[in-house]
A and B are shown apart, each in its own frame.
Chain A
């Protein structure tokens, strides 16, 4: 059975992307949580430690930690191992500016509890919408 529903949030960076969701309830610092070379989650005991960001839609509450995270998000994207889009509960300034300079579609004010890892997402960041498709 397939279930599809729509979530509405706010546009942070325009653009469209689709792919499988990688969801965490933990906050992320792109300096410290993520390897910029491989796009792997390296923060010990992070909920999604060991996962890779490449080609996924990254869903997390907000950024935390180092302000170096903006350039590190830019670097991970430029290195071709970054996510296709970012969905946040509340866009914090460090990841916001990183997404702006990376031209990475980003939406916030989304109830991220509604999304599970493995859901297929169609993000229309310009419209601020996320279409969630789940196999059940």
Chain B
């Protein structure tokens, strides 16, 4: 790899042991993936910030780094394993919380921006088209590459840390024009009317393309930010989708030809394919837990639930997971009170995918509008999932059951 003088100094240890270790990791990655040089990145979104994910191994890794390193560029933090302000009331385990706080403190010591959300793009970190960044969090990666047109590979925790410390990543993969072209054509032949529809499409896309770049046609109306959020999260759970194009709507794909330069295999997403995804997440009967906000809920999603639940009482557990900034807005708009009165808990900083299991609550089944949550819930939480629209999720919460 060709390194600049500055990068060579980092590698030689002139900026301390952690910078050196980080640069070694980046050079190693660059060599594996055939990068010719490094590229300077403008921001990092760090995954692996939940103690549930980092474990003691990751905690040690980050604490060691924090002994002598500082972040060179803005580094936002992904969802952690507790609600930092209300973990006691919610019932998170004390030992787990103390380990989480150590981990968060180590990141903060290095200068991280502790937004603790999987949707940093909803709370102020918005990379621009063509900008090189180093982001983790599979759903956020799909969002910034696809919807914003910024450029990142799928960065795991150690790479994101190295990028934040060195301000660089090896220039390979999605940093290069040629790798942003489509590798598979998905033709949508069903109407997309709800969040559930986008989740199902995303799940299908992830299952079909694996690591490729899907080009989606047949989308008739402009998807909302929330639709894109849902689509990318599901695609990045079922597969390793870091970039997708929706022809006519995402910035790099004004036309099919703009993102396709070879003949692609076409895969149809029709009613059969839609039904097949839904049948995977089709729990019926009594439902005891409802989750909205995977990825973290926008203020519009919170508003939608608050309006549906005004002056009502729910029968299930119900989490709305969101960024703390968004909750502040919900407080001001009166939604937090409406939702709390109805029995909903607004959870900040964390989510059921990344927090430790609240075993004492003994939930068995979950309704969610998130393909990502539905995918992870059975393995991580032993919860049997049903994938529904936001409105249907609220109905489940009011009735305590789902009968199609």
Task: List the interface of chain A (C-beta within 8 A of B).
Answer: 12, 27, 29, 31-33, 36, 42-46, 61-72, 74-75, 77-79, 90-94, 96-98, 100-101
Contacts and interface: CB of A to CB of B under 8 A. Distances in A.
B376 interface: yes
Interface residues of B, number: 44
B54 interface: yes
A62 B379 contact: no
Interface in B29-87: 29, 32-33, 47-48, 50, 53-58, 61
Contacts of A36: 55
10 contacts: A31-B53, A33-B379, A61-B210, A64-B210, A65-B238, A67-B137, A72-B53, A74-B158, A97-B29, A98-B156
B141 A96 contact: no
Interface in B1-39: 25, 28-29, 32-33
B158 A67 contact: no
Nearest to A37: B55
Contacts of B33: 93
Contacts of A71: 48, 53-55, 57-58, 61, 156-158
Interface in B139-180: 141, 153-160, 173
Nearest to A11: B32
Contacts of A78: 55-57
A119 to B, nearest CB: 24
B contacts with A: majority SS: helix
A20 B51 CA distance: 31
Given A32-B353, A97-B159, 9 more contacts: A45-B280, A46-B379, A70-B157, A74-B55, A74-B57, A75-B58, A92-B240, A97-B29, A97-B158
B322 interface: no
Interface in B185-232: 206, 210-211
A67 B56 contact: no
Given A65-B236, A67-B155, A67-B156, A96 B55 contact: no
Contacts of B53: 31, 66, 68, 71-72
Residue among A44, A93, A94 with max Cβ neighbours from chain B (10 Å): A93
B211 A70 contact: no
Nearest to A10: B32
A32 B154 contact: no
B154 A75 contact: no
